[in-house]
Structure 1
Amino acid sequence: MRRLLPALCIAVFLLVGGLASPAGAHPMSTSAVLLDVQDDRVEGEVQLPIDRLAVAVHRDLTPASVLGADRAFLKRYTAEHVTAGDDGTSWTVTLGTPSVRTIDAVAHLVYPLEIRPPDGRVTDFDLRYDVIVEELLTHRVIVTVRYDFDRGILKSDDAETLGVVDWNNKSLKVPAGEGSWLRGFAATAGLGIEHVGEGADHLLFLLMLLIPAPLVAAGGRWRAGDAPARRSIVRVVHVVSAFAVGHSLTLALAAAGVIHVPSRPVETLIAFSIAVSALHAIRPLVARGEVLIASGFGLVHGLAFASLIGELGLDRGSLVTTLLGFNLGIELTQLLVVALMMPSLLVLARTAVYPAFRVAVAVIGLLFSVSWMLERAGLTSSDPFEGVQTSLVGHPLLVAASVAVLAAVARGVAPRRVPAGAG
Structure 2
Amino acid sequence: MTSARRFLSTLVFAAFLLVGGLASPAGAHPMSTSAVLLDIRDDRVEGEVQLPLDRLAIAVGRDLTATGVLGGGRSFLEDYTARHISAVGEDGDSWAVTLGTGSVRTIDGTAHLVYPLTIRPPDGRVTDFRLRYDVIVEELLTHKVIATVRYDFDRGILKTDDAETLGVLDWDTTSLRVPADEGSWLKGFATTAGLGIEHVGEGADHLLFLLMLLIPAPLVAAGGRWRAADTSPRRSAVRVVHVVSAFALGHSLTLALAASGVVHMASRPVETLIAFSIAVSAVHAIRPLVARGEVLIAVGFGLVHGLAFASLIGDLGLDRGSLVTTLLGFNLGIELTQLLVVALMMPSLLALARTTVYPAFRVGVAVIGLVFSASWMLERAKLTDGDPFEGVQTWLVGHPLLVAGSVAALAVAAHLRCRVPRVAAGR
TM-score, normalised by the number of residues in structure 2: 0.93
Does the 8 Å CA contact 1:255/1:315 hold for their aligned counterparts?
no
CA distance in 2, matches of 1:164, 1:254: 39
Change (3 A) 1:404 1:244: same
CA distance in 1, matches of 2:55, 2:342: 57
Give deviations 1:220-254, integer Å, cap 9, x for gaps: 00000110000111011111111111001000110
The CA RMSD measured in Å over matched residues stands at 1.7
Does the 8 Å CA contact 2:32/2:110 hold for their aligned counterparts?
no
Give deviations 1:17-61, integer Å, cap 9, x for gaps: 996369945642211000000010000000000000000000000
Q: Once structures 1 and 2 are overlaid, which stretch shifts more, 409-418 or 133-142?
A: 409-418
CA distance in 2, matches of 1:317, 1:17: 50
CA distance in 1, matches of 2:181, 2:26: 41
Change (3 A) 1:412 1:420: closer
* Residue in structure 2 matched with residue 91 of structure 1 by the alignment: 95
CA distance in 1, matches of 2:384, 2:377: 9
Change (3 A) 1:58 1:227: same
Give deviations 1:86-134, integer Å, cap 9, x for gaps: 1210001110011111000000000000100010100000000000000
Match for residue 344 of structure 1 among 337, 342, 348: 348
SS in 2 for 1:60: coil
Match for residue 411 of structure 2 among 385, 407, 410: 407
Write the mapping of 1:6-405 to structure 2, written as runs, cut at 5 A.
20=23, 24-25=27-28, 27-86=30-89, 87-314=91-318, 318-405=322-409
Change (3 A) 1:61 1:410: same
Q: Which amino acid aligns with 2:59?
A: A
SS in 2 for 1:318: helix
Query: Runs (4+) of structure 1 moved beyond 6 Å?
Result: 15-19
Change (3 A) 1:223 1:28: same
CA distance in 2, matches of 1:408, 1:283: 26
**Structure 1 residue 85 displacement after superposition:** 1.3
Give deviations 1:280-312, integer Å, cap 9, x for gaps: 000000000000000000000000000111123
CA distance in 1, matches of 2:152, 2:78: 27
Change (3 A) 1:19 1:351: closer
CA distance in 1, matches of 2:336, 2:355: 30
CA distance in 1, matches of 2:229, 2:57: 79
CA distance in 2, matches of 1:322, 1:142: 29
Percent sequence identity is 82
SS in 1 for 2:23: helix
**Unaligned segments of structure 1, at least 5 residues:** 1-14
SS in 1 for 2:315: helix
Does the 8 Å CA contact 2:41/2:319 hold for their aligned counterparts?
no
Does the 8 Å CA contact 1:124/1:174 hold for their aligned counterparts?
yes
Does the 8 Å CA contact 1:44/1:112 hold for their aligned counterparts?
yes
SS in 2 for 1:227: coil
CA distance in 1, matches of 2:113, 2:408: 58
CA distance in 1, matches of 2:120, 2:236: 56
CA distance in 1, matches of 2:21, 2:163: 40
Q: Which amino acid aligns with 1:383?
A: D
Does the 8 Å CA contact 1:46/1:112 hold for their aligned counterparts?
yes
Q: Which amino acid aligns with 2:119?
A: I
CA distance in 2, matches of 1:310, 1:40: 20
SS in 2 for 1:269: helix
SS in 2 for 1:91: strand
Does the 8 Å CA contact 2:230/2:423 hold for their aligned counterparts?
no
Change (3 A) 1:16 1:314: closer
CA distance in 1, matches of 2:21, 2:124: 54
CA distance in 1, matches of 2:423, 2:385: 45
Does the 8 Å CA contact 1:224/1:417 hold for their aligned counterparts?
no
* Residue in structure 2 matched with residue 421 of structure 1 by the alignment: 425
TM-score, normalised by the number of residues in structure 1: 0.94
Length, aligned pairs only: 409
**Structure 1 residue 413 displacement after superposition:** 1.2
**Structure 1 residue 314 displacement after superposition:** 3.7
